[in-house]
Amino acid sequence: MRTPVARILLTAALTAMVGIQVHQSTATAVPTATLSVDAGHTTARVNPYQFGHIVEDINHSVEGGLHANVVRNSTMKEGNANPPAYWSAVTAGGGSGSIAADTAGPLNAANPRSLRLSIGANGPGQRVGAANSGFYGIGVRPSTTYEVAFWARATAGFTGPLTVSLESTGGAVQATVAVSGLTTGWKRFTTSLTTTAGAPVSTGNRFVVAANGVGAGQSVWLTVVQALGPTFRPSGGIRRDLQQLLADTKPGFFRVPGGNYLEGVVLRNRFAWKDTVGPVEQRPGHQNDAWGYWSTDQFGLLNYLLMAEQAGAEPMLGVFAGYTLNGTVVPRDQLQPYIDEALDEIEYVIGGTDTVWGARRAADGHPEPFPLRYVEIGNEDFFDRSGSYNAYRYPMFADAIRARYPQLQLVASMPVTSRRPDVVDDHYYNSNPAAFADLATRYDNADRNGPKIVVGEYGVTNGTTGNPTGTLSGAIAEAAFLTGTVRNADLVIGSAYAPALTSVDNWQWSSNLVGFNAVSSYGSPSYHVVKMFGTLTGDHVVPSTLTGVAATVRQVVTRTTGGKVHVTVVNPTGTPVETQVDVTGATGVAGTATVTTLTGDPNGRNSINNPNAIAPTTTTRAAGASFAHTFPANSVVVLTLSTTGGATPLLPTGGVSLRSTTPGFTDRSVRHQNNLAVTSVVGSSSTAADKLDASFVLRPGLAGTGCYSFESRNAPGSYLRQSDYRVRLAVRDGSTGFASDATFCAVDGNSGQDFSFRSHAFPDRFLRHYANEVWIAANGGPLPSDAARSWTEDTTWRLGQSWWRSAVSVPTGNASLQATSAGVAGQSLRHADYVAALSPITAASSTTDKQDATFTVVAGLADASCYSFRSRNFPDRYLRHRDFRVRLDIGDGGAGFAADATFCAQPGNGGTGLSWQSYNYPSAYLRHYAGEVWIAGNGGSRASDNPANWSVDTTWQRAAPWAP
């Protein structure tokens, strides 16, 4: 055992070595909140690409940002100005000369403009040159190297040399080098500049190409001028500090190249990827009209891909889909060239070197294909009011891409019905942190039978006119939202704050993740949140509850396979939360935890001059299976605990569907047909009979807890069971053999996502669909259904919502509904003045009262799998919620009314009886509260959401009707 002295020394050493403060922190007040963590179970898998970045050229993110070239208007085309914009003549010592844009004797068709330096007087000691002012200055640091390249030619007789330098705007030379050998024909020159050890860190610099005392009366032409400052890796030309900041967040994906930048305002200014690859001097560049500046396209498709690769991420490739920001929609009969352009683009990314575009990628220096899983078709196509995206653009692109690349997952930029996308891209922006934080529960009850979700852009937009990055309060709201995306990682495959980067000298978007100028950069509070989530999230979500706190305090808990448990708590309130943290399900919890805390002034923000005003701190504290911790006001905190023991998936019992995840079969669900389990296409428009056959009730395993059994929804008592390896629907016979055959143990999905189900009877076999039948199969075993091909995908299942949403069968016809809560137990739900209420109806009540408390239970107006309540004495009226209060209204035949008047029967929240889930607000249930009747969520924002007694107040008994 270590002595206290040794511990003090170790503490001091740790502090000195890694800058970590170590202290024993204890809560100062009696905990009012309880955070319970079940480290032995998992509820969802966190995706390797759960956190990513969107990178597009906005706010000079790329041109003047990620692209390390410090020379602005490299190709002399920007604004078509003469003399070229951002260039100026430099003379000294009595030298004279001028600069002008010139199109005579062009380098090539792509870059016909050059800068002509006309040299007048230029004797010994004199100077004539051209200076470039860079992107809001040029960043200089001491002993720093810039790789210079340019194309040049000169009039006959010019012998040079040219002097290339980096110097302050006041003329102090920081680096200089001579370049000789100009001829009358265009030649490419390369050299490097290294600043002196004493060069000050500064932005007030310029890049100069000059003829110092040489070449009087001559001319020199320059174009495609580059001076690349420090890059992240030797290839890619990616500015080091910016890429380092992004890479430090451990991103899983880069959504590239946009955003509006992908689309352009007009067709010719879309991201025409073929113009962005190959030798830079062959790239024409284009007006970035989405964001208002020139793009040389010297940072092109390959650079975006390299950026992902070098950060350890995958690209999520956006392809132009025939819609531009001015509302232009490419007509159906003119769309094919754009589809071909997208197919070629994908070939450039993943094609072998034996393909046309794969070979081109190899010629560009990257023979290996890039990993590509997701391709997004378009961007924010909900702005296209013509409906063309759903009508033909998405289907035409999707069909063509799927036909050629069936392994790819396709992302739709808005919900579509004409095809089933694999993923839909949701975007969220809001300038109000509190409103944004409400999105924390956005996906808790979202449809599990629809496409998965990527949040391709999100952010609290509360930057200011003087600072394009947001406040801590905005970052805390974003953290609250991220707890929801992680908790729902089975549905939400990833998220990206947008935009990722901004120049602090010129920006178009108010709030951004990382700010930079020509020489330095900083992360906003939002950046620190993204980094905390990216680096302190495990690979599985762990069940947790947090009670005794304001509803706005959010948490999510994850764990790594190795047992690190990350407890993330977001406290947006102005009050510290004293919390008892209880960890169960682990065989051991280490006595020390790491605490990463982001807190401070909620209105505080970072800036280029004060980059660390808001930054996380890391400390350690005493921990264990039970300890108290204070989560500060306005904070995001991650407690990292070391635990021992494994974890198994914990699935939600109740109504489910079992959906294939095999590409090409994702619209299929397991169903029973003639007592055999098969897969068939089931969707929201399927017949009620088909939906019923594809709906199961997930039960604790008949042969043992920790595993599961699937009971048929429409044949209670019948279960999916294996028999001779084929899966069938069979009536339970009570034997242990049946129980074992009908029990399946959930494990992580064999293909790397969702779940697989190991047979309890044959543990080497998994539930598999094969030729539209369902078997238990072993990889490469002797049966045809053991075929190894697609085995991992075929044995991986997504747990969807039950197609038949009501988990409980309720007899239709006249009935009454009675409360179960102490004090009002037995009171009936009735209408009075067309508003629902609780009332103590008895046999002695008046006929009218009895009729008011009697309803005819019918198939749900919005969905036959649920129910509606028709008034006994006003048969044109139904119970429906309006503003969450339950009323008796006349059906108007509309879909809105039908949804409001439909309730799905579920087992009682209090354990017995029935609860009635709102059809269109699945987290809300029919509840009596203070004698009134509402639909209420547990702990929501209305008084009727009061968590006290919520479970029992939402539990009802179906009873005999008071009136016949």
In the complex, the smallest distance separating the C-beta of residue 510 from ligand AHR, rounded to whole angstroms, is: 10
Binding positions for ligand AHR, 58-97, rule CB under 6 A: 58
DSSP 737-788: HHHHHT-EEEEE-TTSSSEEEEESSSTT-EEEEETTEEEEE-TT-SSGGG-S
Stretch that binds ligand AHR, among 256-264, 415-423, 530-538, 662-670 (CB under 6 A): 256-264
Distance CA 409, CA 552 (A): 35
Which pair of structure tokens corresponds to residue 787?
Answer: 């075929």
Give yes or no for residue 56 binding ligand AHR (CB under 6 A).
yes
Nearer to ligand AHR, 258 or 602 (CB): 258
Q: Around 371, how many Cα atoms within 13 Å sit in the side-chain half-sphere?
A: 11
Pick the closer one to ligand AHR by CB: 509 or 903. 509
Closest CB to ligand AHR among residues 51, 766: 51
Q: Nearest approach, Cβ of 494 to ligand AHR (angstroms)?
A: 16
Residue 771 burial by CB count (10 A; 0-12/13-18/19+): exposed, middle or buried?
exposed
Q: Least distance (Å) from ligand AHR to the CB of residue 919? A: 32
For 66-107, the three-class secondary structure string (H helix, E strand, C coil) is HECECCCCCCCCHHHCCCCCCEEEEEECCCCEEEEEECCCCC
Tell me phi and psi for residue 620, to 5 degrees. -120, 160
Q: Indicate the residue among 167 and 457 with the shorter CB distance to ligand AHR.
A: 457
What is the nearest approach in angstroms of ligand AHR to the Cβ of residue 456?
A: 8
Closer Cβ to ligand AHR, 321 or 819, answer by number: 321
What are the start-end ranges of the E strands in 216-342?
219-228, 253-256, 286-288, 293-295, 314-319
Helix (H) or strand (E) holding 244: helix 240-248
Q: In this structure, what DSSP letter does residue 362 have? A: H
Residue 239 CA from chain centroid, whole number: 24
Among 260, 441, 712, 909, interactor with ligand AHR by CB under 6 A: 260
The reply to whether 52 sits near ligand AHR by the rule CB under 6 A is: no
Give the whole-angstrom CA distance, residue 44 versus residue 748: 9
How many chain residues bind ligand AHR (CB under 6 A)? Answer: 11
Task: Assess 913 for contact with ligand AHR (CB under 6 A).
Answer: no
Nearer to ligand AHR, 56 or 711 (CB): 56
The binder of ligand AHR chosen from 63, 380, 490, 793 (CB under 6 A): 380
Classify residue 466 by burial, with Cβ atoms within 10 Å: 0-12, 13-18, 19+: exposed
**DSSP for residue 344:** H
Q: Is 748 in the site for ligand AHR (CB under 6 A)?
A: no
Q: Which residue is nearest to ligand AHR (CB)?
A: 259
Contact 669, 658 (CB under 8 A): yes
Among 205, 223, 269, 379, binds ligand AHR (CB under 6 A): 379
* 819: CB partners within 8 A, 6+ apart: 825, 826, 827, 828, 829, 838, 928, 953, 956
Give whichever of 426 and 457 is closer to ligand AHR, judged by the CB atom.
Answer: 457
Placement of tokens 């040389």 in the chain = 296
**Region of 255-263, 418-426, 858-866, 887-895 interacting with ligand AHR (CB under 6 A):** 255-263
Helix ranges restricted to H, 796-938? 847-852, 895-900
Least Cβ distance, residue 390 to ligand AHR (angstroms): 19
Structure tokens at 842: 């008895």
Which stretch in 252-260, 465-473, 517-525, 891-899 sits in contact with ligand AHR by CB under 6 A? Answer: 252-260
Q: What is the largest CA-CA distance in the chain?
A: 119
CB of 429 to ligand AHR, least distance (A): 7
Q: Which of 137, 215, 258, 315 binds ligand AHR (CB under 6 A)?
A: 258
Which residues 6+ apart lie within 8 Å of 610 measured at CB? none
What does the alpha-carbon distance between residue 785 and residue 774 come to, in Å, rounded to a whole number?
9
Binding range to ligand AHR, per CB under 6 A, among 253-261, 295-303, 305-313, 621-629: 253-261
Number of H-type helices and E-type strands within the chain? 17, 62
Asked whether position 457 contacts ligand AHR by CB under 6 A, the answer is yes
Q: Please identify, among the stretches 61-69, 258-266, 626-634, 712-720, the one whose residues bind ligand AHR according to the rule CB under 6 A.
A: 258-266
Q: Which is nearer to ligand AHR, 259 or 264 (CB)?
A: 259
Provide, rounded to whole angstroms, the least separation between the CB of residue 504 and ligand AHR: 17
Minimum CB–partner distance for residue 513 and ligand AHR (Å):
10
Q: By C-beta, is 325 or 879 nearer to ligand AHR?
A: 325
Name the token pair of 141.
């640091």
Binding mask 415-454 for ligand AHR (x = CB under 6 A): ----------------------------------------
Residue 501 beta carbon to ligand AHR: minimum distance, rounded to whole angstroms: 11
- Gyration radius of the chain over CA positions: 33
CB of 416 to ligand AHR, least distance (A): 17
**In the complex, minimum distance from the CB of residue 499 to ligand AHR, in angstroms, rounded to a whole number:** 4
Contact string (CB under 6 A) for ligand AHR, positions 482-521, x = contact: ----------------xx---------x------------
Would you say 56 or 347 has its CB closer to ligand AHR? 56
Measuring CA to CA, which residue among 866, 860, 839, 859 is closest to residue 850?
A: 839
463/655 with CB nearer ligand AHR: 463
Q: What single letter denotes the amino acid at residue 423?
A: V
Residues at the site binding ligand AHR, with contacts judged by CB under 6 A: 56, 58, 258-260, 379-380, 457, 498-499, 509
